Amino acid sequence: MLGHLNWLAIIVATIAYFALGALWYAEFAFGKAWQRAAGWDLNPPENAGAGIYAVPLVTCFAATLATAMVGAASGTDNIMEGILLGLVVGIGIALPVMFVTGTYDMTKPAPMTFAAIGAGYHIVGLALAGAILGQWI
């Protein structure tokens, strides 16, 4: 199956999904609320290495690749079907995983807020990735 995927679409969708995170977690959007919910002090981390960007990029790639595989298997072939695919994956997988984590994570001051912001990002990000994939696959 991997050989039949549109890798350019996967790369573009991954970059779009990742770039959405820069907006989603920016201070003018959900950044301050997310940091407060996580218990961070609202200051940028000192000496943050490449991992602060590499890990989210790799996870966006993995989620986009899995979504592309499901899209190919289900015959997703237009933008609306791609958006629906992304929403199904986001709401059906990302949302429950984030909320289970939020329910049992007692290390954060506001774990459910933390989970809701994260789940929202993944739902919107996967819908965006799905739209790109649906248009190009």
Beta strands in the chain (DSSP E): none
Return the pLDDT at 3: 79
pLDDT digits (tens, 9 = 90+) for 79-126: 999 999 999 999 999 999 999 999 999 899 999 999 999 999 999 999
pTM strictly above 0.95: no
Tokens of 91: 């709401």
Count, residues in the chain: 137
Cα radius of gyration rounded to whole Å, the chain:
16
Helices vs strands, H then E, count in the chain: 6, 0
Distance CA 88, CA 105 (A): 25
